Amino acid sequence: MNKAFTRERDGEEEDDDVALPPLPAGGKNYITPAGYARLRGELLTLIDDERPKVVEAVHWAAKNGDRSENGDYLYGKKRLREIDRRIRFLTKRLEIAEVTDPSVHHGGDQVFFGATVTYAGDEGEERTVTIKGIDEAESAQGEVSWISPIARTLLRAKLGDTLQLPTPAGTREIEVLAVEYPLPQADA
């Protein structure tokens, strides 16, 4: 079949089924002020900088003739779909975000959203995690999502509490050793 008569797939059908990471039923999408600012900054960069550059590149490549063999055009269209998908994702997430400032608990000894918690496992190993929002937690940085099993076990616990952490290998006992919160920001 001649390529001229085949429909070029825009990928719009698959774009709309991109599922958001799950939130607990009736739950909120908690996020720190810094996480919200980072996601909002990414959204504005995509809208104001990246997307216009890619649109310009696709427009230029489209003027160069045969689109079926034009790598710049094909890559540009693919990149444009990726940018649009990310813009939709960020827009939806920011609309439902509930910004929660963890510094209001500074000096407290109970674990709430945004706390940095040091705990010891039943074999004595110590670990430190910071409880963050679903869209901002980075495990490589020692951050965990507030809906993760460790965070759900730690939330509402107090300094010195011994807790039962369910794991795939069975229940482990952990003890809360330290609870820290960021300093409150001075209003300028």
The pLDDT assigned to 80 comes to 95
Q: Is the pLDDT of residue 160 over 60?
A: yes
For the domain made up of 105-180, the CATH class stated in words is: alpha beta
Q: Is the pLDDT of residue 124 over 90?
A: no
* 29-99 and 105-180 share one fold: no
Long-range contacts of 86-94 (CB under 8 A, 24+ apart): 86/42, 86/46, 87/43, 87/46, 87/47, 87/51, 88/15, 88/18, 89/18, 89/20, 90/39, 90/42, 90/43, 90/46, 91/43, 92/20, 93/20, 93/29, 93/39, 93/135, 94/36, 94/39, 94/40, 94/43
- Hey, what CATH topology would domain 29-99 get? Helix Hairpins (1.10.287)
Residue 187 — pLDDT band, cuts 50, 70, 90?
A: low
Residue 16 — pLDDT band, cuts 50, 70, 90?
A: very low
Q: Is the pLDDT of residue 6 over 60?
A: no
What are the C-alpha distances in Å from 99 to residues 26, 29, 102, 149?
A: 17, 8, 10, 22
Extents of the domains making up the chain:
29-99, 105-180
Residue 7 — pLDDT band, cuts 50, 70, 90?
A: very low
The pLDDT assigned to 13 comes to 44
